[in-house]
Structure formats: structure tokens, C-alpha cells
Amino acid sequence: MKRYWKIAVLANIKDENQTKPEGVPPDAFADFDHIETVDAIRAALETDGHSTIFIQADRDLPFALREAQPDICFNIAEGLGGDAREAQTPALLEMLGIPYTGSRVLTNGISLDKTLTKRIWRDRKLPVAPFQEFTAGDEPLRPELKFPLFVKPAREGTGMGVDMKAIVKNEKELSERALYIINVYQQPALVETFLPGREFTVGILGRADSKLYSRHPEWYEKDGFHRFPVLELDTSRSVTPWVYSNEAKSKDVGADGSPGYFCPADIEPELEKKLKHLALRAHQLLNALDISRTDIRLDEDANPRLIEINTLPGLTPNYSDLCLQAQSEDIRYEDLALDILYLGASRWGMLEPREHASEALKKK
Ligand SMILES: Nc1ncnc2c1ncn2[C@@H]1O[C@H](COP(=O)(O)OP(=O)(O)OP(=O)(O)O)[C@@H](O)[C@H]1O
Ligand SMILES: [Mg+2]
């Protein structure tokens, strides 16, 4: 079996100089990556002897892949347009038969859609805030939804379409905001009960047999999963108080107007256990693979409610929530990226189970 691979990092890169096409929202492409993130991932993968290239995940991707012939792709591509853009690159790779990291097509499609995701969680009794999807803007509000409400695009990320006006206090504000989202973002508006409590995000790494393929089997618990330390976002002091908006997310950690980041969060062990359990169940119910980050907020009775799951969590060193979580327990960025790679590769038959890991497992 080949030991060193040619790895293509696939991403959609922000072009700060490019003028935005007409008709796109003001924060369009906010979830695209900077080339520095791609460079960091490439450098991390190269530390274990692999060679890497970057391929932009745009319309030329199919041709670039055929030319480059990578052994495997490290996928962080957000995709371009449509109703399931995060599923586009995985779908193409499936079609071409090229191995790739992380979650597959269906999961990336569903997790981008917060309404569908919440329906799945609610069906399995995971706690979510009451919600309703608006596709016209003037739908009658269901009685279980009480003001204040929170209105956001059903299928975006990185706080796109989320600012202080997302909190609506009456019917008039609700229909105005819902119409704004529907028209500007060209997608349904998700209306939820406003969750006034503390905000957390929890990363999950691994799967049942992680120890067989990881370079760090000691990270993983008996069930094969690693739960990163809980990160609390103190949004109260951010540029958009109580809301982890696109504007708040784009500030550097510690900069003026950024939220407070606390990791590990200062919480009771019981709440910590609950949050980690919920994040893992959220991950499993969506069939997420290897890596995800789930956002959770407390309701008015201080009960956790799942907000959403990110199956392509940001991987910018010293900046992305997941990287801050890893850092807080001294997991090196290089090791994190390599474990995502090897867990992914093992699913495509590219790795033998590791001797040392099998030994460790036998002892359990
Ligand atoms: N029901 C709610 N009640 C209160 N605040 C909410 C609610 N839903 C979302 N928010 C706030 O808006 C932020 C962004 O929402 P959400 O996590 O759904 O969007 P996102 O853009 O997909 O985020 P990400 O950058 O994690 O992909 C949350 O982090 C939270 O601060
Ligand atoms: Mg979020």
C-alpha cells in the first residue's frame, strides 16, 4: 500500500479584489476560506511526508481533478450556489471515484439545511427550539412560537444573514425580516424561538474504529470518539450583543468587538457532559463522518437546545472555533489535520489498521 500520497486540498477561496456579482447578499461568500488556511492545511499534511496541491472548487474542478489525479482530497469546499452547495464537491468526487475526507454527500447537503437538520433531531427527541420555516414571508405564525423570535437564512453559514435585526419582537418585524431573508438570500427563512442563554460549541472527532487509524489513539474514548473541550462564546460583549453574527465572526480573536472565547468553558460537569452528549448524538443522527462542530444555546430555563451542526467546520489556525478547542487541550494543528486525513483515507481502503492501535485496543 502506498505510504505517501498526493493530496489535493479543495476549497473555495475568497477573492477580496473581486467585485460581487449583482443580486447577491451583502455578505455573500463570507464562508469562503482565505488561502492562508489552505496553506496551513497543506503544510500540516506535508509534515507526514505527503505532497499536496491546492485546487479551487469552482466550475473547473472536474477538469483540474482529472489532470492532477490526486490519491485523496482534503475537502473544505463550501460550494457554489444551489440548495446544497456543501454537497457539491463530495458529489463530484463520488462520481469520479476519488477518495476524500469528512462527511459525504447526503450529510453535507442536509446539515447545510438547518430546517431539515432540526426535523431529524426533533424526530429523535433531541432538544431544539420550536421552529417554523417561512417560504412566503406572510405565513400565519404557529402558536408555539412566542416572541421574541430569531430569523435566519435556512441554508447559510458563518453568520451570513445574521445580525441584530435577526431578533424580532412582533409580527411586523417578523414578516419584514422573513421577507428580507427570502428575497435577498433566495431561500427560506428559519424562524425560531429566541434562545436567551449562554452559547456553546462542541467539536467531535472520530468514529467507532478511530483508534485503528489514528496517529493518536489516546485521544479517543472507548466509543471511538473524541469530544473537544466545550468552547463558550460570550456574545454579550461582541459588536452584535448576544448574537454571534457574521460581523462578530469576522473579528480576530481578542480584537475589539469580537465575542469572548472561553475554552474549556467554565461550566458544571453535568452541563459539560450534557453538551458533549448532545453534540455526539447530533453528529451521529446526521451520519456525519470524522469531524463536526455543533452549536448549542441555553433556553430561558437554562436547558441546552441544539442550534445547528457544521460538518465542514472552519479550520483556520488560531481563529476557527474548532482550532481554538483543539489548542486548549494542546492538540497540535498538524496532528488534527492528519487525523482528519487518516480517518478519511481509511474509509477508502487506503490504510492498514495500525499495529500499535490494535495492540492498544486488545488491552481494553
Ligand atoms: N434560536 C436562536 N436564538 C438565539 N440566537 C440564535 C438562534 N439561532 C442562532 N442564533 C445566533 O446566531 C448565530 C448564528 O446562527 P447559526 O449558528 O445557526 O448560523 P451559522 O451562520 O450557520 O453559523 P456557523 O458560522 O457556525 O456556520 C448563533 O451562533 C447564535 O449566536
Ligand atoms: Mg453556527
Q: What is the mean pLDDT of the chain?
A: 94
Q: What separation in Å is there between the alpha carbon of 128 and the centre of ligand 2? A: 14
Q: Predicted confidence band at 355 (pLDDT cuts at 50, 70, 90)?
A: low
Q: Which atom of ligand 1 is nearest to the CA of 295?
A: 17
Rounded to the nearest angstrom, the distance between the alpha carbon of 308 and the centre of ligand 2 is: 6
What's the Cα-to-Cα distance from 190 to each of 172, 185, 284, rounded to whole Å?
16, 12, 23
Ligand 1 atom nearest the C-alpha of 321 is 26
Q: In which residue are the cell numbers 469530544 written?
A: 227
Looking at per-residue confidence, does 247 or 331 come out higher?
A: 331
Taking the CA of 78 as reference, the closest ligand is 1
The answer to whether 137 touches 189, Cβ cutoff 8 Å, is yes
**The pLDDT of residue 73 is above 50:** yes
Residues with CB under 6 A from ligand 1: 114, 129, 150, 152, 156-160, 162, 192, 194-195, 199, 235, 243-244, 249, 295, 297, 307-308, 310
* CA of residue 319 to ligand 2 center, whole Å: 15
Nearest-ligand number for the alpha carbon of 156: 1
User: Over the stretch 303-336, which tens digit does the pLDDT of each residue have?
Assistant: 999 999 999 999 999 999 999 999 999 999 999 9
Distance CA 10, CA 44 (A): 15
Q: What is the pLDDT of residue 356?
A: 47
Mind listing the pLDDT tens digit for each residue in 251-293?
A: 999 999 999 999 999 999 999 999 999 999 999 999 999 999 9
More confident residue, 306 or 242: 306
State the cell numbers at 245.
Answer: 453574527
For residue 211, the CA-to-ligand 2 centroid distance in Å is 29
Q: Which residues contact 172 (CB under 8 A, 6 or more apart)?
A: none
Residue found by looking up cell 477538469 in the block: 63
Protein residue with least CA distance to atom 9, ligand 1:
307
Alpha helices in 159-251 (DSSP H): 171-185, 210-213, 246-249
Ligand sitting nearest the alpha carbon of 246: 1
Atom 28 of ligand 1, nearest CA residue: 244
For 14-28, 46-60, 135-149, which range has the lowest pLDDT when averaged over its residues? 14-28
Structure confidence by residue, pLDDT tens digits, 180-224: 999 999 999 999 999 999 999 999 999 999 999 999 999 999 999
DSSP 237-254: GSSSTT---HHHHTSPTT
* 12-21, 36-45, 136-145: segment of lowest average pLDDT: 12-21
Atom nearest to 131 CA in ligand 1: 1
Domains by residue range for the chain, with CATH: 6-101 (3.40.50.20), 130-193 (3.30.1490.20), 199-363 (3.30.470.20)
**Beta strands 6-11 and 51-56: pairing type?**
parallel
Distances from the Cα of 296 to the Cαs of 195, 202, 258, 308, 330, in angstroms? 10, 8, 19, 7, 24
* The pLDDT value given to residue 357: 52
pLDDT score, position 21: 75
pLDDT above 60 for 229? yes
In this structure, the number of other CB atoms found within 10 A of the CB of residue 147 comes to 14
CA dist., res. 359 & res. 364, Å (int) = 9
Instruction: Work out which ligand 1 atom sits closest to the CA atom of 246.
Output: 21
Pick the residue whose CA is nearest to atom 1 on ligand 1: 194
> Is the bond preceding residue 269 a cis peptide, omega within 30 degrees?
no
pTM of the model: 0.94
Give one word for 188, left, alpha or beta, with left for phi > 0 and alpha for psi -120 to 50: beta
pLDDT digits (tens, 9 = 90+) for 89-126: 999 999 999 999 999 999 999 999 999 999 999 999 99
